[in-house]
Each structure stands twice: as structure tokens, then as C-alpha cells.
A and B are shown apart, each in its own frame.
Chain A
């Protein structure tokens, strides 16, 4: 569960998120939409504890994450799989190593890594790209690697920041299928997007942010303003 309780965040004097309250249940698939600069990215940065709120509390799994010490942050982040618009793969590591890295971070034994990583690559349908470097594969393929990495440690949450933003229509849908599939297995997915057609066709819960405020929160359909 992710809870925002009257969260306000400002940079200098500019308020980017104001008095935001929301509740996301386990297993939900939630879109966060709104115009550029509305505060969507701030919301995501708050959940991943990259930034801290000025006011209010953010509670993930019953734990107020503002209270986390710097030492606790890495362990906290391991239960969140992050997917970004620009993929953010490690450029000097191969596809295989990029996914394996997420397992190494949690000190998985080598044997487990060798067993799990090929399974993950197969799941996102890129097992034949294992030895390629990120700059040798397409955007869609890179995003698949990023998703495989995000789910490597069976996180409870997937936070996706415009995961289809850099992809063409068909590739974007393939990625959406993957995310939906991951969601069906019980993982909560929170996805920030600009893509109205995707939001419409997916028919899930939609939270709309504008000017730093949550202006609508509806189950199903298209609330894109």
C-alpha cells in the first residue's frame, strides 16, 4: 500500500505538489496523468524517496518513509522496481549483466543469479540479446531489459515514469502488455504517462494532477484533461 497524507513539496518558493492525499492498494494498476510540470515526476521521486516532502507523510507498506535513515534507503528501494522513459541501463554492462546487477545488489548467490537472469530475459522476450550492450539494441528492447531488471527482485511495486515516452506505438503497446502481465501476478504498478490512447484503452484507475494538485481520481476510463 502506498499512502500520501496531505503531502506538500516545494522547490525554493515554487510549490510543485500541494496537499496531496491518495491511497494505492496492493495489486492496483494506477495511471498518473497531467500536463508537463504538473507534479507527476515529483510524486514519483517522493515514492522512491529521492526527495522528502516538506509537509505530510508518505507511507509505504505501513512505514513512514520520510523517517528512513540514509542507511535504510537502499533496502527500501529494492522493493520498488523503477522503469524510466530513458531506460537508464548501465552502459558498460551487457544486457545480462544489467539484469544480474539488480540481483547482485541484494547479494543473491551466484547460482541463483545464473538461474534467474535467463528466466527474466525470457519473460520479456530478449533472451537472445543477453550479450549485447545497451547501445547495440533498440529502444523497445532496452525498455524490456529495464523491466526485467525492475522485476528481478520480485518487488511489490513497479514505478514507471513515462515508460513508453520514447517508443513508437506498436513497441509501446508491447511494453504495456508486459506491465499488465506483471500487474496480473500481483505487483502494484504506478505509471506516469502522457499517452492518452494508452490510458483510455487500458481502462484502469487514473489520477490526474494539475498545478500541483490532484484534481481527479477515477476508476476506469479516461480522465485525461
Chain B
């Protein structure tokens, strides 16, 4: 078995070098499609990542309470909101605490607030959502309490971001599926051409008394090798491009979205798995499927 593998590997390497034209054609088509795949993959991953960031930032709802609401009543409202599925936690923020935070955010200019004789800030409840989609519902429930004066959350902004990102993710998925189908077709055609060119060769081997696996083995390994090499090339190119892009966009991304691109290590690691699996299986399946009908001599 092992010597058979070694034999196949040796023959495959020799064949790849002697059939330069076909090898390079398959290599290019697989690499090209993997690169396009990488483009959409990193794009989608980044969109998802950004969406998560946005969700984290905007998943807080603030409910302002009337001045007359007692602390006890405030806690009652808090606990009934907390029992909702969409709610992660509820925190009661008395007006004094709110003022402190307010002063903190003013920093060096906080002394200006010292002139206030009365605290104008209301008591409030800070609601952390577990599911940002449930924001509207929680807000509505909040309005339902007589002690709640106003509810504030970034519904429109969040809705917009969610809508855009879901459209982007869905269309990227469609494009990726489409790409995989197209690339499988392109690759299987390339392999079919290779096998067609080898049809006579296969026939001759069968005349000499070669078993199907003896013929198939080296071609199978050849397909896998070409797939692997393409995967390696595509991975190298996309890794370099992504790292450059990440470095180049770092400052712009920070100011715009308060975050950077998804870590290149994460993206490259995942691309490596995807490319390896795709490259090898496309190469191997391509050779097996397209060889099948020529082996019947």
C-alpha cells in the first residue's frame, strides 16, 4: 500500500512536469477561483464582525423614570423587565449616580456643573439586551409602565445596520455558492480535457493489464497535488494582500468604526482550511469523476 502510494506520487510529479500546459491551466483556474472566494470570504467575515461590534455597542436601552417613582417601584419595574427573554440584565441608575457619570464624561470642565443647585437628571433603568432584534418589543413594554417617562434606544440606527449587513451577508453567500458551482464546472472541464487527452494512454495501460487503480492512482494524486499547489498559491497571495490591507486601513477603520479589520491570523487560518479542503477535493474528485467513463476498456 505504502509503496503504491509512493509510486503514484512519483509518477504524478513526473506527469505534472511533463504535461506543463495542462497542469498550468488547471493550476490557474483553481487558483483564480480560490482567490475570488478569498475576497468574498474576508469581506463577509468583516461585515459579520462589524455587525457584531455595532450590536454590542447599541444593545443598551435607557428608560427614564418619573421623579415621583420610588426606588422600590423602580426595582419592581426592573425585575419585570429583566424577566423578558430578550433582556440580559437591568441596572437601576439613581439620579446621583447619573450625575457622577455625567460629570466624569465632562472631564476637566465638570466644575461648570457645580453651579447646578438641583440635579436635573432623572432616575433611570439601563437595560442590556441579549437579543438586539427584541429591542423594539422591550421598548414598548417599557412605555407600558406608568412610571416610565421616556425610552431611548438607537432603534433606527441599529435596524439600518442590521438590514444592510444581512443583505450583504446574504448576497455574499449567494455569490460564494455561485462561485463554487462555477469553479467546480471550470475545474471539472479542465480535468475532462486532461483526461480526454489521456484517453488513449488509459486504454493502452488497460491493454497492458493495468488495474483501474493502477491507472487512477497517479492521476488521482496528480489532481490532488495540483489542487494543493493552487491552494498554497492562493493562500499566499490572499494572506499578503489581507495583511497589507489590514495595516493600510487600520487608522481609517479606527476613526470610522472604532475597530480594525478582523485579525489577519484568524482570516488566514480559516482560509487555509477552506482552501486545503476545497483544493484537494476539487482536484481529486475532478480526476475520479472524469476518469470513470474512460476506464471501461
Contact A101 B208 (CB under 8 A): yes
B297 interface residue per 8 A CB criterion: yes
**A41 vs chain B, min Cβ distance (A):** 14
Contact B208 A92 (CB under 8 A): no
Contact B208 A149 (CB under 8 A): yes
Query: Within the assembled complex, what's the spacing in Å between the Cα atoms of A147 and B208?
Result: 12
Q: Please, which residues of chain A bring their CB within 8 A of the CB of B209?
A: 74-78, 80, 102, 105-106, 153
A90 interface residue per 8 A CB criterion: yes
Contact B19 A104 (CB under 8 A): no
Which 5 residue pairs are nearest across A and B when measured between Cβ atoms? A78-B209, A77-B209, A74-B211, A105-B210, A74-B209
B102 interface residue per 8 A CB criterion: no
Query: Within the assembled complex, what's the spacing in Å between the Cα atoms of A74 and B295?
Result: 12
Query: Within the assembled complex, what's the spacing in Å between the Cα atoms of A102 and B205?
Result: 8
Contact A90 B207 (CB under 8 A): no
Q: Tally inter-chain residue pairs, CB-CB below 8 A.
A: 47
B293 interface residue per 8 A CB criterion: no
Contact B207 A91 (CB under 8 A): no
Contact B15 A48 (CB under 8 A): no
Q: Please, which residues of chain A bring their CB within 8 A of the CB of B19?
A: 92
Contact of B205 among A50, A75, A76, A90 (CB under 8 A): A90
Q: Please, which residues of chain A bring their CB within 8 A of the CB of B210?
A: 74, 105
B7 interface residue per 8 A CB criterion: yes
Q: Please, which residues of chain B bring their CB within 8 A of the CB of A92?
A: 15, 18-19, 201
A88 interface residue per 8 A CB criterion: yes
Given A88-B203, A105-B208, 4 further pairs, Cβ under 8 A:
A50-B297, A75-B209, A77-B209, A78-B208
- Residue interface mask A63-84, B partner, CB < 8 A = 1: 0000000010011111010100
Q: Please, which residues of chain B bring their CB within 8 A of the CB of A102?
A: 208-209
A76's closest neighbor in chain B, by CB?
Answer: B209
- B residues with CB within 8 A of A: 7, 15, 18-19, 200-201, 203-211, 214, 297
- A residues with CB within 8 A of B: 48, 50, 71, 74-78, 80, 82, 88-92, 101-102, 104-106, 149, 153
Query: Within the assembled complex, what's the spacing in Å between the Cα atoms of A51 and B201?
Result: 19
Q: Please, which residues of chain B bring their CB within 8 A of the CB of A74?
A: 206, 209-211, 214
A159's closest neighbor in chain B, by CB?
Answer: B207
Contact A90 B211 (CB under 8 A): no
Contact of A82 among B7, B18, B207 (CB under 8 A): B207
A-B contact pairs, 10 of them (CB 8 A): A76-B209, A90-B205, A92-B15, A92-B18, A101-B208, A102-B209, A105-B208, A105-B210, A105-B214, A149-B208
Q: Please, which residues of chain B bring their CB within 8 A of the CB of A88?
A: 200, 203-204, 207
**A133 vs chain B, min Cβ distance (A):** 9
Query: Within the assembled complex, what's the spacing in Å between the Cα atoms of A80 and B204?
Result: 13
Query: Within the assembled complex, what's the spacing in Å between the Cα atoms of A89 and B201?
Result: 8
**A91 vs chain B, min Cβ distance (A):** 7
Contact B205 A101 (CB under 8 A): yes
* With contact pairs A74-B210, A102-B208, A105-B210 given, residues A90 and B297 touching in the complex (Cβ less than 8 Å): no
Q: Please, which residues of chain A bring their CB within 8 A of the CB of B214?
A: 74, 104-105
Query: Within the assembled complex, what's the spacing in Å between the Cα atoms of A48 and B206?
Result: 11
Q: Please, which residues of chain A bring their CB within 8 A of the CB of B200?
A: 88
Contact A105 B205 (CB under 8 A): yes
A102's closest neighbor in chain B, by CB?
Answer: B208
Query: Within the assembled complex, what's the spacing in Å between the Cα atoms of A106 and B201?
Result: 18
Q: Please, which residues of chain A bring their CB within 8 A of the CB of B211?
A: 71, 74, 105
Q: Please, which residues of chain B bring their CB within 8 A of the CB of A82?
A: 207-208
Q: Please, which residues of chain A bring their CB within 8 A of the CB of B18?
A: 92
Query: Within the assembled complex, what's the spacing in Å between the Cα atoms of A78 and B207?
Result: 8
Query: Within the assembled complex, what's the spacing in Å between the Cα atoms of A99 and B209?
Result: 13
**B7 vs chain A, min Cβ distance (A):** 7
Query: Within the assembled complex, what's the spacing in Å between the Cα atoms of A32 and B73?
Result: 111
A91's closest neighbor in chain B, by CB?
Answer: B201
Q: Please, which residues of chain B bring their CB within 8 A of the CB of A48?
A: 207
B3's closest neighbor in chain A, by CB?
Answer: A107
